């Protein structure tokens, strides 16, 4: 019994409400059918982890409990950023792409160690003043995976919005022919996170499927 037939059958007895979602990476084509336990989603990611500004979009169907509506912003130094916006909805073809968050140029009194390096030893942090919307310190570890399947460890530290704690450990961020896969993430106030050693799993919270980074996906 396929999903569409199941949705139509259950709808006849009033116990489910199936919707059609727009989808750009679905095996079934340009749309997918979401059941009563699923929602439509759309995510837009803007980042500069590959050395220059880049963007990525994705949409489709996802379990409702896994969809995190809202934006996430991370800055790991001057000109190094990742900003994502996710939309969750439950009506036919409602998942239009949201705009990625704009750069916040305000200045707060919070400062965090910041750096980004493809090898942890190359990530020598400098103190960065955070924007008002990114007053949490963040540490992220993971691997950079090329199309050849070569894996290079990376470390990112900097300022983040509180919503960065919603990033899931299964997240990955597409950048050209490579993507960044998140292994650990720690988000907290400067006093609780700035002193944590890189690679520690003490506050491992983390992106779904760094982007869903193809954050595929900051929404898992």
The H-or-E segment that residue 171 falls in is none
- Residues facing residue 136 across a β-bridge: 160
pLDDT tens, N- to C-terminus, the chain (220 residues): 333 333 333 333 333 568 999 999 888 899 999 988 999 999 999 998 877 898 889 999 999 998 989 999 999 998 999 999 999 999 999 999 999 999 999 999 999 999 998 887 788 889 999 999 999 999 999 998 876 667 889 999 999 999 998 887 777 777 766 788 888 999 988 764 443 333 333 322 233 333 333 333 443 4
Tokens in use for 183?
A: 């292994």
- Residues facing residue 39 across a β-bridge: 62
Architecture of domain 3-89: Ribbon (2.10)
CA–CA separation, 158 vs 69, rounded Å?
23
What class has domain 111-193?
A: mainly beta
Question: Where are the domains positioned within the chain?
Answer: 3-89, 111-193
The two domains 3-89 and 111-193 share their CATH topology (first three levels equal): yes
Q: Which of 74, 54, 88, 43 is nearest to 218 (CA)?
A: 43
pTM for the full predicted model: 0.77
């Amino acid at each position: 019994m396929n999903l569409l037939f199941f949705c139509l059958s259950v709808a006849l007895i009033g116990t489910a409400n199936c919707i059609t979602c727009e989808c750009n990476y679905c095996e079934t084509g340009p749309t997918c059918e979401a059941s009563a336990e699923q929602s439509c989603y759309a995510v837009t990611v803007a980042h500069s982890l590959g050395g220059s500004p880049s963007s990525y979009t994705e949409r489709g169907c996802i379990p409702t409990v896994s969809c995190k509506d809202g934006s996430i912003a991370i800055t790991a130094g001057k000109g190094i950023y990742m900003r994502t916006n996710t939309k969750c909805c439950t009506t036919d073809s409602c998942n239009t792409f949201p705009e990625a968050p704009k750069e916040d140029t305000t200045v707060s009194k919070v400062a965090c160690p910041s750096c980004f390096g493809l090898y942890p030893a190359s990530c020598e942090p400098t103190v960065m003043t955070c924007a008002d919307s990114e007053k949490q310190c963040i540490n992220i570890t993971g691997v950079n995976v090329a199309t050849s399947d070569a894996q290079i460890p990376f470390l990112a530290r900097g300022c983040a919005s509180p919503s960065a704690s919603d990033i899931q450990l299964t997240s990955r961020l597409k950048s050209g022919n490579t993507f960044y896969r998140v292994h650990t993430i720690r988000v907290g106030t400067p006093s609780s996170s700035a002193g944590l050693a890189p690679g520690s799993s003490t506050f491992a919270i983390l992106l779904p499927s760094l982007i869903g980074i193809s954050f595929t996906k900051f929404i898992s």
